[in-house]
Amino acid sequence: MIKIGNIQLPEFPLLLAPMEDVSDPPFRRLCKQHGADLMYSEFISSEGLIRDAIKSRQKLDIFDYERPVGIQIFGGDEEAMAMSARIVETVNPDLIDINFGCPVKKVVCKGAGAAVLKDVDLMVRLTKAVIKSTSLPVTVKTRLGWDDNSINIHEVAERLQDIGVQALSIHGRTRAQLYKGEANWGPIAEVKNNPRITMPIFGNGDINSPEKALEYKNRYGIDGIMVGRAAIGYPWIFNEIKHYFKTGENLPQPTIADRVLAAKSHLEWAIEWKGLHVGIVEMRRHYTNYFKGIPGFKPYRHVLVTSDSADELYETFNVITEVYEEFQFS
């Protein structure tokens, strides 16, 4: 069993990565249904929480059926991070995660996310401020370093563990890489194999199939895997990986009925959570991923991404199920 504070996870847990504009409660609910063991909110700006920004506050929504679930915060100011940790604690997540890995310019320009990799002393101070402000377990997600010339994840891991961080998720790229090239899990394995490191180490980056998940599990010896982009429009990946670990065989591909049910449930929960109009509009970005690779799908996609009527959308789902009932995904 893997332990983070009082949280007990399975032997080799599969985590859903915190993803901006993706990892909201409806999406997390789907991933939980399909085997995710630990999930995180979208990352939340500490400054936004303190200003009581509506968008930041809404990201604090968590539900009991998601547990265990963490809320992820980011920022570059110690006082703001401490205050935001206290705000987060009021909604009672299972843990608080700190983002020191986001490579996006608007975050990095504020001295937050992956920018903190350039100043490990600052990273330690920010993390200490959060740990002192909460009784919840504190974990961190980060990258290998700022660029190939400054890979410092070995120092980062030791110093974070020394001040009380209880788990570390490492994306196998530098900030300079953004999401380009191939993730390098070698340094992640080196951190895991460091005899000083006792906290769980989770690997992240490029896991997009059960075969690759098993290969990386065996090759790099990490404590668990965090899945990000591969789960978008494909929440089945968690149970597919678990099944492959157990049997060495692949589960059958989700059918058109499975995909329609997932998209329909996602839409229903989005409407339930954000209201009719916002739920419908924000769901539009997901349909392409759910129905990828289906021939002649363009007319149905057009309805899904333009209609403002929930009834029309549900009727379109029914038509898709009927028209593509015999379609086999390869």
Residue 289: CB partners within 8 Å, gap ≥ 6?
A: 232, 233, 234
Burial (CB count <10 Å: 0-12, 13-18, 19+), residue 171: buried
Residue 276: CB partners within 8 Å, gap ≥ 6?
A: 310
> Residue 7: helix, strand or coil by DSSP?
strand
Contact 163, 112 (CB under 8 A): no
Q: What is d(CA 200, CA 226) in angstroms, rounded to the nearest whole number? A: 12
Main-chain dihedrals φ then ψ at residue 318, nearest 5 degrees: -60, -45
Beta strands in 126-200 (DSSP E): 138-143, 168-171
CA 57, distance to chain mean position in Å, is 18
> Residue 107: helix, strand or coil by DSSP?
helix
> Residue 267: helix, strand or coil by DSSP?
helix
Structure-block tokens of residue 112: 């937050």
Q: What is d(CA 3, CA 12) in angstroms, rounded to the nearest whole number? A: 11
**Which residue in the list 102, 227, 237, 271 is annotated as catalytic?**
102
Q: Give yes or no: 109 in active site.
A: no
CA distance readout (Å), 157 to 109, 130, 212:
24, 17, 25
Contact 74, 43 (CB under 8 A): yes
Residues designated catalytic? 102
